[in-house]
A and B are shown apart, each in its own frame.
Chain A
Amino acid sequence: DGGITQSPKYLFRKEGQNVTLSCEQNLNHDAMYWYRQDPGQGLRLIYYSQIVNDFQKGDIAEGYSVSREKKESFPLTVTSAQKNPTAFYLCASSTDRGTGELFFGEGSRLTVL
């Protein structure tokens, strides 16, 4: 079945450590996205990529980094520069058409101790 796989589902890290969240899709979608979800704030866009080897900052990119070396993969690194990294992180993908809906993974919950 086609879909988006995020891993790990739960992650605990000490303050000051970098962590990388994995996102893989087999939907053959060109576009991929990372959103952050905090209670009461909805989803906020971190980074997005419309094509391999290209990505753009979203609304809250500070303290995060991404890469897009393969069409199927869009990993997100939460660096030590991110001041408040504890959150639920959602990866999504879509066709490159403006009318296409986003397909989401199951999310990764990061807790920084």
Chain B
Amino acid sequence: AQSVAQPEDQVNVAEGNPLTVKCTYSVSGNPYLFWYVQYPNRGLQFLLKYITGDNLVKGSYGFEAEFNKSQTSFHLKKPSALVSDSALYFCAVRDHLLRHMDTGRRALTFGSGTRLQVQP
């Protein structure tokens, strides 16, 4: 089974300060990890993904995420937050082993989401 946890329902940060949105995962094999952002009444927009290689992944809008295998984490970060970053953020995982065990199941499993509020 694959699962992902986002321990914080909401994160508050002042504009210009660094931000971190936490994500931990559980898989049987190696993880494929993704971050998405959602604005009100809109679909999800892809930010970045980790498949293999460098543990620090850079994505859209200045976001980056660090893969930590020993802590099974994939936290989203940004050095300087903007008010426009305020949105709902989702972490997602896919277990690479599912490709072989169950070729029909390549859907992502999503966390419950973290609302980021950036104050001016």
**Real complex partners, A and B?**
yes
- Given contacts A41-B112, A42-B113, A43-B90, is CB(A94)–CB(B43) below 8 Å? no
Chain A, interface residues (CB within 8 Å), range: 20 to 34
B108 within 8 A of A: yes
Bound: A76/B57 CA distance, A:
35
Q: Which of A98, A104, A109 contacts B96 (CB 8 A)?
A: A98
Is B120 in the interface zone, CB < 8 Å from A?
Answer: no
Contact (Cβ within 8 A) A101 B34 = yes
For A2, the chain B residues whose CB sits under 8 A away are: none
Bound together, the chains give a CA A99 to CA B9 distance in angstroms of 28
Tell me if A63 counts as interface (CB < 8 A to partner B).
Answer: no
How far apart are A5's CB and chain B's nearest CB, in angstroms? 11
For chain B residues 7-61, which have a beta carbon within 8 Å of chain A? 9, 32, 34, 36, 41-46, 49, 51
Which of B69-77, B79-87, B98-106 is found at the contact surface with chain A?
A: B98-106
B43 & A105 in contact (Cβ 8 Å cutoff): yes
A-side interface residues toward B, CB under 8 Å? 4, 6, 31, 33, 35, 40-43, 45, 48, 50, 56, 58, 88, 90, 92, 94, 96, 98-99, 101-107, 109
